[in-house]
Amino acid sequence: MRHVATPHLLALKNQLDALEAERLSPFASLSKDGLRRRLEDGQAEDHRQAFAVDGDRILHSHAYTRYIDKTQVFYMVRNDHITHRVLHVQLVSKIARTIGRYLRLNEDLIEAIALGHDIGHPPFGHDGEKVLDALCRGHGLPSFQHNLQSVRFLERIERQGRGWNLTLQTLDGIMCHDGEIHNRQLAPQRGKTFADLDRHGAAKGQDPRHELIPMTMEGCVVRFSDTIAYIGRDIEDAIELKLISREDIPLRCQKLFGRTNGSIVYRLVTDLIAGGIEDGAIAFSEEVSEGLKAMKGFNYERIYLNPAIKKGLAKITTCYKVLFESCLDQFARPEHHGEMVANFLHEQGREYVEGRQPAALARDFIAGMTDKYFLRQARRLGCETPEKT
């Protein structure tokens, strides 16, 4: 039941809108300009500003709740100090809001994008993403990419297929957040529509090399903050797991950023803030950008591609294949629905299921699983699963 805001609350909302127009940068996104795909009953009577509503909705989504047991980088590790996806998302939000505050951008929009940006990640991080991508392509689906799946969850899967009706600005920032790509500077591609969002999403699904640029400065800030949040934190986790030592960090990077996550984050954030917004873009200084590129290279070589962190990958890959085929069979033959699939379909409802091919249903179901649920269902199907070490 929606409660209509009192005139006093609506007046306060109007005051907040006026303060935004007065206080925020000309490059900021104003809450009053938030665009939704469809109008909602009582939308005009909601005392919350548009991007704050988006943040609330993402926080209350089922997919956000499942962040708690999603791999960030290191899986099947028996160490409670290692970063999980939920902490990474919180770090991105905090870092991005700090940058946004100094650049006078819209912190509500920044928070909404940051909280939702990794919702589409499947079990076991980027390794799981690669396995699921191969399965999707092998069954005639577009490339599986977690940023596209994030939008899919929030627009077409959550709330029994109705989605959360988030603003275009939030969905665009989520889809365009890719922190793996190295950019020295980013300038938003303004003036997008929902048709552009759909077109770019389809193009990215067909060709992962298709470049996506956020439509807002806030989206650009989150994209940089994604990198800032993981680059040093992954080093700390790798040191905790004794995969590397602090002395292994390239000397050039140590001199520029220091040797701890705290000093790395501080240097990167300070550099972005100090550069401000010039010519409609935010940018790292050339020195810091080159240093960050070198740090990424170090992380890939010594951490992300390290065979020591992939000991369970072969079994996980087999589990993915078995789960996908089992779901595919059950979705294709409704009379043979097992308990696992039946529960999923019951939760999703008819609006979500109608018109979707079995492979797409299998993709969405598996992508939404937590690590523990994935392993539990794989074992029920007779798979040998890895053990935490």
pLDDT digits (tens, 9 = 90+) for 184-239: 999 999 999 999 999 999 999 999 999 999 999 999 999 999 999 999 999 999 99
Q: What is the DSSP string of 1-45?
A: -PPPPPHHHHHHHHHHHHHHHHHS-TTSPPGGG--BSS--TTGGG
The answer on pLDDT for 47 being more than 60 is: yes
From CA 241, how far away is CA 211, in angstroms rounded?
A: 35
From CA 336, how far away is CA 332, in angstroms rounded?
A: 9
From CA 25, how far away is CA 105, in angstroms rounded?
A: 6
The answer on pLDDT for 268 being more than 70 is: yes
The answer on pLDDT for 29 being more than 60 is: yes
pTM equals 0.94
Residue 287 sits at φ, ψ, to 5 deg, of -65, -45
Q: In the prediction, which pLDDT does 98 show?
A: 98
Q: In the prediction, which pLDDT does 224 show?
A: 97
Q: For 348-361, what is each residue's pLDDT tens digit? A: 777 788 778 999 99
Q: For 103-125, what is each residue's pLDDT tens digit? A: 999 999 999 999 999 999 999 99
Residue 162 sits at φ, ψ, to 5 deg, of -80, -25
Q: In the prediction, which pLDDT does 125 show?
A: 92
Q: For 277-291, what is each residue's pLDDT tens digit? A: 999 999 999 999 999
Q: For 159-176, what is each residue's pLDDT tens digit? A: 988 999 999 999 999 999
Q: How confident is the model at residue 294 (pLDDT cuts 50, 70, 90)?
A: very high
Q: In the prediction, which pLDDT does 13 show?
A: 87
CB 312 within 8 Å of CB 75: yes
β-pair type (277-278, 281-283): antiparallel
Written in H, E and C, the secondary structure of 91-134 is HHHHHHHHHHHHCCCCHHHHHHHHHHCCCCCCCCHHHHHHHHHH
Q: In the prediction, which pLDDT does 3 show?
A: 61
Instruction: Looking at mean pLDDT, say which of 69-83, 214-228, 337-351 comes out highest.
Output: 214-228
Strand ranges inside 286-330, DSSP E = none
